[in-house]
A = this chain, B = another copy of it.
Amino acid sequence: MTHQAPKGTRDFYPADMAVRRHIESAWRGASVRHGFDEIDGPTFEHLDLYTVKSGEGIVSELFSFRRAGGENDYALRPEFTPTLARMVAARGAALPVPTKWFAVPNFFRAERPQRGRLREFFQWNVDLLGVDTPGADAEVIATAISALEALGLRAGDVTVKLSHRGAVAGALRGVGVPDEQLGAAFALLDRRDKLPPEEFAKRAAALGAKGDLGGAIAKLARATAPVSSGLDALAADVGVPAAELGALEFLRDALRAAGIEEWCQWDCGIVRGLAYYTGVVFEIHAAGERAVAGGGRYDGLVELFGGPRTPAVGFGMGDVVLGNLLRDKGLLPTDGTELLPKPDVFVVAANDAASAQLPGIVSDLRRAGLHVRHSYKSTRNVGKLLGEAGKSRARFAVILGDGLAAGTVDLKDLASGDQRSVSLTELPTLLLAVSPIRAVGF
């Protein structure tokens, strides 16, 4: 009998895990450089945490469950923001201002697996709470870009597409959409490409706008411009009123100050599916792929979860689309094992007496902090054993042989082939001095 992983989930063998850790390491490095602290929450939450706030879009994709005989309904987390809002609300005023948090949790969506979408995936979440300035918006976007840069991507490879719900709302009000229908108009803009034309027209008509809503939405969907130029023309084109233009100008200035303007593009077709966004919304795209990341400002959400009124901006970046993109751009090794930590030293025994001493010597080197491997084969053929050492990608081989009785071993640099006799007692110090710093922390 054989068993398989559930559909849409992954087994991470060492080569796969090394790629995942490579990506997570870039996420974590960017987070720490930008001053975010790591958090996490439970893998499953009470179901009502999601049913109450996130809208039906996510609820239909939940893995929800109830234990046999249990009283509570749970759901595997489909996103992080409700957990974050719950955690912020629970601590309330005891949290520092600003609160800068990141997380790298796994999430679950019960949708049909396809390219870029799995049922279990990892997602980097970055949130800056307590600051309502465009500088905070720019800071989280810069954090996302910093990770992408660390992974080898450049401004031409991906684009941060920005919009602003306030500015778009201004344009929609300009064609007579009533305030209470703005949410529905956003949803229509978001789903414009997924609806048949007659269905789109029917829904547009139902919103009761006095002006040409269909035309306004088509115009918004087409409206893109580099952030470095063209804001006034863009705003005039889609009808952003002067009162709303200031927010876009401040955002542009903040992106410029953070030095990330060239990565960014205005795109009034960006809406984001979730209902809770209130200001800037953005997605990071590479041509022809699903969004690598998406986020925005959600100033009202913490309050909805029972906390104090808290301005907030953040994003999520998933590992699946990003991994595909890095592979397509040649930014991941063909064999992920190249990303595994390299051994400092591979120890081989050239005779039976040496073999009896090998476990103790290996143990001493590991206790000194070195990454040590050894052969489990019974052969004493040094040539074969050095071949195994080379395959392990170790930097040095230590050969235990006749010199052991006098307290010496042979140390061989596996790159240069240089070999010399060294004292066994000095070996750990010697290897530590030439080994790279081992950064194996999480």
Contacts and interface: CB of A to CB of B under 8 A. Distances in A.
B45 A5 contact: yes
A428 interface: no
B44 A6 contact: yes
A39 B356 CA distance: 31
Tell me the number of copies of this protein: 2
Interface stretch (A27-35, A182-190, A419-427): A27-35
Interface stretch (A87-95, A208-216, A233-241, A244-252): A87-95
A271 interface: no
Interface stretch (A196-204, A275-283, A367-375, A402-410): A367-375
A195 interface: no
Contacts of A372: 33-35
A97 B20 CA distance: 24
Contact of A38 (B9, B17, B83, B369): B17
Interface string A142-179: 10001001000000000000000000000000000000
Contacts of A131: 376
A359 interface: yes
A359 B2 contact: no
Contact of A110 (B67, B356, B359, B363): B67
Contacts of A367: 146, 149, 259
B32 A12 contact: no
Interface stretch (A221-229, A285-293, A433-441): A433-441
Contacts of A441: 21, 25, 28-29, 439-441
A5 B42 contact: yes
A154 to B, nearest CB: 13
A360 B259 contact: yes
Nearest to A254: B359
Given A21-B38, A98-B376, A373-B35, A6 B259 contact: no
A396 interface: no
A44 B439 contact: no
A43 B41 contact: no
Interface of A: 1-6, 9-14, 17-18, 20-21, 24-25, 28-29, 32-35, 37-46, 48-49, 52, 63-68, 70, 72, 74, 76, 82-83, 86-87, 89-91, 97-98, 101, 104, 106, 108, 110, 120, 130-131, 135-136, 138-139, 142, 146, 149, 254, 257-260, 305-306, 340-341, 343, 356, 359-360, 363-364, 366-367, 369-374, 376, 437-442
